[in-house]
């Protein structure tokens, strides 16, 4: 299984916030990739960022990627539309996609979902509690109920997304808001998992339980053998009931 962790990398490059290098010495993508390598020893995990040529998302790279993780925030608009179209085509053709936190406003997520993906937010380092509401879902396997994140940005409803295929997690925050924090979708043959915890200001991706959710998500989203094919229009002859 080949996994690619994509991070725009702008916060890291700008050292903003100032302590991001302390939380994430290898960048958020580095921390995420390290967690996946620990939990999915059979997977080949690599990383790419906005600054890479073609954002590190060439046609060749995408074609051999089973699951792509996407973190973006400050530079959604700088992602090339041609690259977005390429990612979209691969997802529709079966590549798994995990969209993380502020990636809710990424071009690729909004394009696949068809809604504004807007939400309520407040950044005061509140405690977040992540509750499992579908315990039989593979993504929830082994996750504590609740999963406690000591300090995190608040994301609250209304989260403007289509009804998800599965609602796996709901979060509450110290300020009283709630959020559908773990939701799955299918677009074409591709499985998509959105997971909201994780932010450039807090070391969320260093938490082992968060890493477990991401590893579960990667395993769940990976296409099976023979699963890669974009659905196409066809014009079959009359052949069944004659």
Residues of span 168-207 touching a second copy by CB under 8 A: 170-172, 174-178, 180, 185-191
Find the helix or strand (DSSP H, E) in which 2 lies.
strand 2-7
Please give the size of the binding site for a second copy, defined by CB under 8 A. Answer: 72
Shortest Cβ 218–a second copy spacing (Å): 15
Shortest Cβ 212–a second copy spacing (Å): 13
How far apart, in whole angstroms, are the C-alpha atoms of residue 42 and residue 67? 14
Beta carbon nearer to a second copy, 31 or 147: 147
Contact by Cβ (8 Å): 7, 28: yes
Task: Select from 32, 60, 63 the least CA-distant residue to 47.
Answer: 32
Residue 42 sits in the site that holds a second copy (CB under 8 A): no
Contact by Cβ (8 Å): 165, 185: yes
How far apart, in whole angstroms, are the C-alpha atoms of residue 136 and residue 207? 22
Q: Candidates 5-13, 196-204, 205-213, 228-236 — which segment interacts with a second copy by CB under 8 A?
A: 228-236
Contacts of 101 (CB under 8 A, 6+ apart): 71, 73, 153, 155, 195, 196, 197, 198, 199
Site for a second copy in 9-38 (CB under 8 A): none
Residue 236 sits in the site that holds a second copy (CB under 8 A): yes
Residue 1 sits in the site that holds a second copy (CB under 8 A): no
Find the helix or strand (DSSP H, E) in which 148 lies.
strand 147-156
Among 21, 25, 135, 150, binds a second copy (CB under 8 A): 135
How far apart, in whole angstroms, are the C-alpha atoms of residue 134 and residue 60? 36
Residue 239 sits in the site that holds a second copy (CB under 8 A): yes
Site for a second copy in 68-107 (CB under 8 A): 92, 94
Among 115, 147, 198, 208, binds a second copy (CB under 8 A): 115
Shortest Cβ 111–a second copy spacing (Å): 6
Among 51, 85, 116, 150, binds a second copy (CB under 8 A): 116
Task: Select from 194, 173, 197 the least CA-distant residue to 185.
Answer: 194
Shortest Cβ 99–a second copy spacing (Å): 13
Among 28, 36, 43, 113, binds a second copy (CB under 8 A): 113
Tokens matching residue 160? 């403007």
């Amino acid at each position: 299984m080949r996994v690619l962790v994509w991070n725009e990398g702008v916060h890291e490059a700008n050292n903003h916030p100032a302590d991001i290098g302390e939380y994430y010495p290898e960048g958020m993508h580095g921390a995420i990739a390290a967690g996946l390598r620990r939990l999915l020893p059979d997977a080949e995990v690599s990383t790419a960022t906005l600054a890479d040529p073609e954002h590190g998302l060439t046609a060749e790279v995408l074609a051999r990627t089973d699951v792509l993780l996407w973190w973006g925030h400050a530079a959604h608009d700088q992602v090339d539309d041609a690259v977005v179209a390429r990612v979209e085509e691969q997802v529709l053709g079966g590549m798994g996609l995990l969209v993380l936190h502020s990636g809710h406003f990424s071009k690729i997520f909004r394009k696949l979902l068809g809604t504004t993906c807007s939400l309520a937010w407040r950044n005061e380092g509140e405690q977040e509690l992540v509750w499992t509401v579908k315990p039989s879902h593979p993504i929830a396997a082994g996750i504590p109920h609740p999963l406690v994140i000591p300090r995190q940005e608040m994301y609250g409803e209304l989260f403007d997304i289509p009804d998800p295929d599965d609602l796996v997690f709901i979060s509450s925050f110290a300020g009283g808001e709630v959020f559908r924090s773990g939701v799955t979708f299918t677009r074409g043959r591709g499985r998509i998992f959105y997971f909201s915890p994780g932010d450039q200001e807090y070391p969320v991706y260093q938490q082992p339980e968060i890493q477990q959710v991401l590893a579960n998500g990667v395993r769940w989203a990976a296409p099976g053998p023979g699963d890669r094919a974009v659905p196409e229009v066809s014009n079959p002859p009359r052949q069944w009931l004659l």
